[in-house]
């Protein structure tokens, strides 16, 4: 998701605190969403690489302060080197400790016409997040990236397996009773993929027109096309096109080209694009059967068929 903030005397010259315009969240790796930072008006609170390529002051932030309790994060500020003049300045905000300060007070100062975004993938599945974000700003736009819930569950397991190689098999975690085919929906890797149930909570606090659901699969196949939808949703000029990407055959994902002469392209990190463990085909079919009614309800709620039931 993301949000806009704004408070000094001359909003065109002096930055102000503003409520966030949009927040990014969802069920795919954050790196796939950093492309929107190529838009010069977007300033981010997320803990990712930002807009130095375009000569704008940019902000890094570790988010998640709306996930639980009233805690938020205390930033430590450090200025990174400029590339001459006022270009290339980046203000780095690193989360240090949890406080009880209002989230709005932690928004960066931005100029009129700029957009501030904050992104945390777990917001979409956090029960308390919709009410907290709505209480801060009812006008916030919500950008949610989703993918096939079965593939997402296997990817989730793969990530955990890389850190804890002694965990039980995917099959034993996914089922309460494999013989009877009873899926364990309490397992977080399964529960996160129940998108329709999560969306119901958000629609109690935000109208559907303030949410955009981006296909993780299409973001890989056609990043410029899918990001065109994002730019339209945010009211931004379409400046991201096919020329900004090239496909990395090794990773199997598109990489973001930087501005001419500004360095190497930005590709997914080492933790992204790992080979998934081989899962029994019967297990995958049972999971697709389990998710099918939830997927169809999600398609109906969003007015968009993501094609996960083929």
The residue with tokens 């009873």 is 182
Q: Coil, strand or helix: which one is 109?
A: coil
Regarding whether 260 and 156 lie in a shared domain, the answer is: no
- On average, the pLDDT of the chain sits at 72
As for how many domains the chain has, the answer is: 2
DSSP letter assigned to residue 1? -
Regarding whether 15 and 89 lie in a shared domain, the answer is: yes
In degrees rounded to 5, what are phi and psi of residue 59? -130, 135
Distance CA 87, CA 57 (A): 7
Q: CA 193, 296, 201 angle in degrees (round to 5)?
A: 55
Regarding whether 177 and 31 lie in a shared domain, the answer is: no
Distance CA 10, CA 29 (A): 38
- Residues 187-205: tens digit of each pLDDT: 999 999 999 999 999 999 9
What is the mean pLDDT of the segment spanning 22-43? 50
DSSP letter assigned to residue 77? E
Give 145 or 56, the one with higher predicted confidence: 145
The residue with tokens 């790992």 is 274
Regarding whether 121 and 63 lie in a shared domain, the answer is: yes
Distance CA 71, CA 64 (A): 9
- Residues 270-280: tens digit of each pLDDT: 666 677 889 99
Mark out the alpha helices in the chain (DSSP H runs). 129-136, 149-163, 170-174, 188-191, 195-203, 216-221, 223-233, 281-302
Instruction: Name the region of 52 (left: φ>0; alpha: ψ -120 to 50; beta: rest).
Output: alpha
Regarding whether 232 and 307 lie in a shared domain, the answer is: no
Regarding whether 170 and 52 lie in a shared domain, the answer is: no
Regarding whether 300 and 266 lie in a shared domain, the answer is: no
* DSSP conformation letters of 240-261: --GGGEEEETTTTEEEEPPSTT
Domain housing 229? 1-146+211-271
Distance CA 52, CA 72 (A): 26
Give 194 or 94, the one with higher predicted confidence: 194
On whether the CB atoms of residues 181 and 285 are closer than 8 A, the answer is: no
Regarding whether 160 and 76 lie in a shared domain, the answer is: no
Q: Coil, strand or helix: which one is 76?
A: strand
Regarding whether 135 and 19 lie in a shared domain, the answer is: yes
Regarding whether 193 and 240 lie in a shared domain, the answer is: no
Which pairs from 164-172 meet CB under 8 Å and 24+ separation? Answer: 170/277, 170/279, 170/283, 171/279, 171/280, 171/283
Q: Coil, strand or helix: which one is 99?
A: strand
Has residue 76 got a pLDDT over 60?
A: no
Residues whose CB is less than 8 angstroms from the CB of residue 300 and which lie 6 or more positions away in sequence, other chains included: none
On whether the CB atoms of residues 102 and 121 are closer than 8 A, the answer is: no
Has residue 104 got a pLDDT over 50?
A: yes
Band (pLDDT 50/70/90 cuts) for residue 267 is: confident
Give 54 or 128, the one with higher predicted confidence: 128
Residue of 34, 37, 1, 12 lying closest to 110 (CA atoms):
12
What is the mean pLDDT of the segment spanning 120-143? 90
Regarding whether 142 and 56 lie in a shared domain, the answer is: yes
CATH code for position 5: 3.40.50.300
Regarding whether 128 and 2 lie in a shared domain, the answer is: yes
Distance CA 148, CA 107 (A): 33
């Amino acid at each position: 998701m993301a949000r806009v903030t704004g408070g000094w005397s001359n909003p065109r010259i002096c930055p102000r605190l503003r409520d966030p315009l949009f927040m990014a969240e969802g069920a795919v790796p954050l790196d796939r969403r950093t492309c929107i930072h190529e838009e010069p008006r977007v300033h981010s609170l997320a803990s990712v690489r930002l807009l130095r390529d375009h000569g704008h002051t940019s902000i890094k932030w570790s988010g998640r302060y709306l996930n639980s309790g009233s805690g938020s994060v205390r930033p430590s500020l450090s200025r990174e080197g400029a590339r001459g003049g006022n270009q290339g300045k980046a203000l780095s905000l690193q989360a240090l400790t949890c406080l009880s300060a209002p989230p709005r007070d932690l928004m960066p100062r931005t100029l009129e016409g700029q957009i501030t975004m904050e992104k945390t993938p777990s917001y979409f599945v956090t029960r308390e997040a919709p009410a907290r974000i709505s209480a801060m700003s009812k006008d916030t736009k919500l950008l949610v990236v989703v993918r096939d819930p079965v593939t997402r569950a296997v990817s989730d397991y793969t990530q955990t397996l890389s850190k804890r190689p002694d965990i039980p098999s995917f099959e034993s975690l996914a089922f309460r009773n494999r013989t009877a085919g009873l899926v364990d929906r309490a397992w977080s890797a399964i529960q996160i993929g129940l998108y329709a149930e999560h969306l119901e909570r958000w629609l109690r606090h935000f109208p559907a027109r303030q949410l955009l659901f981006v296909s993780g699969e299409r973001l890989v196949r056609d990043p410029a096309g899918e990001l065109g939808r994002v730019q339209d949703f945010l009211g931004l000029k379409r400046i991201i096109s096919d020329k900004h990407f090239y496909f990395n055959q090794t990773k199997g994902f598109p990489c973001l080209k930087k501005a001419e002469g500004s360095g190497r392209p930005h590709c997914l990190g080492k933790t992204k694009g790992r080979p998934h463990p081989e899962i029994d085909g019967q297990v995958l079919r049972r999971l697709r059967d389990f998710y099918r009614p939830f997927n169809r309800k999600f398609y109906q709620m969003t007015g968009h068929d993501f094609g996960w039931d083929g």
